Amino acid sequence: MSAIIFILQLIMAILMLPFYILYYLGIWGFIVKKIFPLFVSRISVSYNKVMENYKKRLFSNLSDFAGSSKELRLLEVGCGTGANFRFYPSGCKVTCLDLNPNFQKFLRKSQADNDHLKYDGFLLASVDNMTSVADASMDVVVCTLLTCSVPSTPAVLKEVQRVLRPVSF
């Protein structure tokens, strides 16, 4: 059994070698920051086609979470290209947060395509340290396809809880 594990580890090391070399040469950071947003913008179109019915159901009751002002304040963390925008209710006030500033180019296109929303701005921050977002300032926090790639999911959830408006039942 240990021989099989060793062989699988060796195969993984060989497969990962190009990534290690790119990282060592300092090129990997460029790829992640510059090329990844382009990749996500292309993939999100087909991904949304596959997930459309599910996302419609998932986001269908967002308006129910609006505060006393009846204006839904939504924070999308790891907003990427804004692929979820078309599923948000009309008049929703969206604040976008992402760690990668290179998503803004694609985000502007999504904002133009989704003029049924109000945009409060783009915050450049890590989701586990959202100090630029005030306590209890959001009605909803949306996070899709992100928590699998954060260093600490509990830290993210703590920040999400901090920025959400308290709700009494």
DSSP label at 166? Answer: P
**Angle 63-66-67 from CA coordinates, rounded to 5°:** 165
In 3D space, the residue among 92, 74, 88, 96 whose CA is nearest the CA of residue 165 turns out to be: 74
User: What is the structure's pLDDT at 71?
Assistant: 92
Mean pLDDT within 15-27: 87
Q: What tens digit of pLDDT does each residue of 97-148 get?
A: 999 999 999 999 999 999 999 999 999 999 999 999 999 999 999 999 887 7
User: What is the structure's pLDDT at 3?
Assistant: 87
DSSP label at 141? Answer: E
Domain-wise residue ranges, the chain: 28-163
User: What is the structure's pLDDT at 109?
Assistant: 93
User: What is the structure's pLDDT at 19?
Assistant: 83
Residue 95 pLDDT grade (very low, low, confident, very high; cuts 50, 70, 90): very high
Cβ–Cβ < 8 Å for 65, 93: no
Look at the domain 28-163 and name its fold.
Rossmann fold (3.40.50)
Tokens of 57: 């159901």
User: What is the structure's pLDDT at 2?
Assistant: 85
- 54-58 CB contacts, 8 Å cutoff, 24+ apart: 55/84, 55/87, 56/87, 58/87
Q: How far apart are CA 45 and CA 169, in angstroms?
A: 38
Cβ–Cβ < 8 Å for 75, 97: yes
- The β-bridge partners of 122 are 96
Return the sign of the alpha-carbon dihedral for residues 25, 29, 34, 38. Answer: positive
The yes-or-no verdict on residue 8 having pLDDT over 80 is yes
Q: What tens digit of pLDDT does each residue of 31-84 get?
A: 878 888 888 889 998 999 999 999 999 999 999 999 888 899 999 999 999 999
Tokens of 163: 């920025």
With 0-12 / 13-18 / 19 or more C-beta atoms within 10 angstroms meaning exposed / middle / buried, residue 7 is exposed
In 3D space, the residue among 162, 134, 131, 159 whose CA is nearest the CA of residue 147 turns out to be: 159
Tokens of 75: 């924070």
Cβ–Cβ < 8 Å for 44, 73: no
